[in-house]
Structure 1
């Protein structure tokens, strides 16, 4: 199901790397981050019973945006590092990327659980009572840890047969509807979607931060290059031993200037 995400990344990453060498990285890093943010926003609008075609298209776009950002961003980082430190720069980049991938799983599920915990107890209690479960038992089941409910749904497991125990026989249909494969995932669909939206908003915010950082990096890089050019010009003037004119006054080389010139001549 997630193959379109990988396909989008594999298609766009080499192309964006090649184009950024010709036209500069900033339009690709900023554009890629914005495309990725837009895809996360579009994923929020999908209903919980979405069709796979629309989902595949959106994660394909997400992969394309990530690929557009990744190659120019890595090249820009490495170009900003002195040649003798590029091994360290590559190692630090890989360390941060792998650490953030692991950290993002924790952040993602924490936000999911925060969203689930807001609406899941109330939703579960009301739905169980509507199916004939006594209020006391419904209240106890509604206090289940959200993480347990989430992973039960991921594993395709309906826990109500064990949780309701002996009262199933007293329900109108013998609890057949409550213990079916469809009831449990449909029950938590609304709260799950709410948690997913919170997690996606975090992803959108992270992409916008990346876009803004990439946009500012271009300005910082130009200022750095201008400063480097100024410093180089000063050093060349020191080597040649030339004195400049400021207005109508002769600029006399100072002692530091003479010392630098003597050192370079030696």
Structure 2
């Protein structure tokens, strides 16, 4: 097979732009939740769904989108994703109610799925396995840069322009990204596999995740009553139906044969557990800084910088290290370091200084920088060529499922013992009238959420440690059709 991969760095520039766009959006939106909640007279459940709705839609569609990319071409899907993401952003900025913005965030999620579901596959198509860690590291730098830029940018935008502009900022970025991809990757030819789509599997998995989230959010402030338990039962029935349906179709949305590879199984499991443990951390810390410590939006945004900054600085080192010695050691060490960060954050009190918070965030950034690039490289190195979209889509689905459950679970644990009125006052940013006992109750619940995350992080570290060593092949050794990249 003759392969020219001289344009591989152009591929990285396109996927990095998508990663940067998603990173800025996710951090800015979380930062703006208290302001949006107050401006739209929304409640906590609606605001939780502003975050979870986007992730849910991305989760529901990413496997199908990965299959579409494998079949019809990933660049075309990626370009459409930029446009839909920008459209959803514009509509979100025009929202006049809580549920309106939730619906428009669903549209954003469709675009996000079209980008995320193909970015890893595009990189894997363009790079040999012994260089993918470096490429994934560059994408991780973009996520880190977005995390550094977004708090400052978001704080300035919210303070001086208003919350609507945190969504409008995505529109010019999305338009530029489409033009850049269209011009720079017009000659990119990809490997393709034409298979049927598993509509039933996608619908059942979406129903499982959605019902699970509804059940958890229904319990916030009121506990687990008969209705929330009934919804939880329905979610488990949907999950059982999903597994049953997947056994009967020729092209299941979950290609379970990939899980027969120990590296792939352990790497995707580690990704799911890491997301479940870590994703809600930023969400909780923002409310701690603003509602408990009394910092302004712009002050809180600046104080969050240590985590994404250190993550972006260490991401390329983690990628290069995995290219040389494999993913197991750096990824496992990364998760364990994140566990240490969670322990530090679990010791927060109402009177804790910002320096203590910054220490926890800094340690968290170091751990995430060492984990993400090696783990991504391990996932894609254990995925056969021609199935890159499905392989990355399955991993992304599990990771996103962990993220969205993380938000719901963290809210339920952190605010579960508080009166509903106090919960709303806290998250609206009107907590100055709350008693010290209520604030202490929230911080205690937040610490419990961090302790739960520590346990999940330890299980994730075990999964990472037992993954084994992935096989390394050069691009010329990989099987597949002729690919022109230059």
Which TM-score applies when normalising by structure 2? 0.33
Q: Which residue of 2 aligns with 1:67?
A: 369
Q: Which residue of 2 aligns with 1:108?
A: 410
Matched, 1:98 2:400: yes
Q: Which residue of 2 aligns with 1:156?
A: 429
Contact 1:4-1:63 at 8 Å conserved across structures: yes
Matched, 1:11 2:261: no
Q: Which residue of 1 aligns with 2:437?
A: 187
Instruction: Please say which of residues 102-111 and 83-92 is displaced more in the overlay.
Output: 83-92
Matched, 1:216 2:466: yes
How many Å apart are 1:96 and its aligned residue? 2.3
Contact 2:345-2:357 at 8 Å conserved across structures: yes
1:93-114 CA deviation, whole Å, 9 max, x = no partner?
Answer: 2222223222210011111133
Q: 2:333 is paired with a residue of what secondary structure?
A: helix
Contact 2:322-2:330 at 8 Å conserved across structures: yes
Q: Which residue of 1 aligns with 2:176?
A: none
Bigger Rg, structure 1 or 2: 1
Gaps of 5+ in 1: 121-143, 159-180, 226-266
1:7-63 CA deviation, whole Å, 9 max, x = no partner?
Answer: 122112221011111122111111001000011011112222221122112101101
Q: Which residue of 2 aligns with 1:51?
A: 353
1:129-162 CA deviation, whole Å, 9 max, x = no partner?
Answer: xxxxxxxxxxxxxxx42xx31231232325xxxx
Q: 1:81 is paired with a residue of what secondary structure?
A: coil
Choose the corresponding residue for 1:204, options 431, 450, 454.
Answer: 454
How many Å apart are 1:84 and its aligned residue? 2.3
Choose the corresponding residue for 1:80, options 382, 404, 414.
Answer: 382
How many Å apart are 1:216 and its aligned residue? 0.8
Contact 2:311-2:369 at 8 Å conserved across structures: yes
Contact 1:153-1:185 at 8 Å conserved across structures: no
Q: 1:217 is paired with a residue of what secondary structure?
A: coil
Contact 2:318-2:330 at 8 Å conserved across structures: yes
Q: 1:151/1:49 Cα in 2 relative to 1: closer, same or farther (>3 Å)?
A: farther
Gaps of 5+ in 2: 1-302, 472-486
Q: Which residue of 2 aligns with 1:23?
A: 325
Contact 2:349-2:444 at 8 Å conserved across structures: no
CA distance in 1, matches of 2:354, 2:427: 18
Q: How many residues align?
A: 169
CA distance in 1, matches of 2:363, 2:327: 20
Which TM-score applies when normalising by structure 1? 0.59
How many Å apart are 1:185 and its aligned residue? 5.2
CA distance in 1, matches of 2:458, 2:368: 13
Q: 1:96 is paired with a residue of what secondary structure?
A: helix
CA distance in 2, matches of 1:150, 1:70: 33
The list of structure 1 runs, each at least 4 consecutive aligned residues, that deviate by more than 3 angstroms after superposition, is: none
How many Å apart are 1:83 and its aligned residue? 1.9
Contact 2:345-2:360 at 8 Å conserved across structures: yes
Q: 2:463 is paired with a residue of what secondary structure?
A: helix
CA distance in 2, matches of 1:153, 1:185: 11
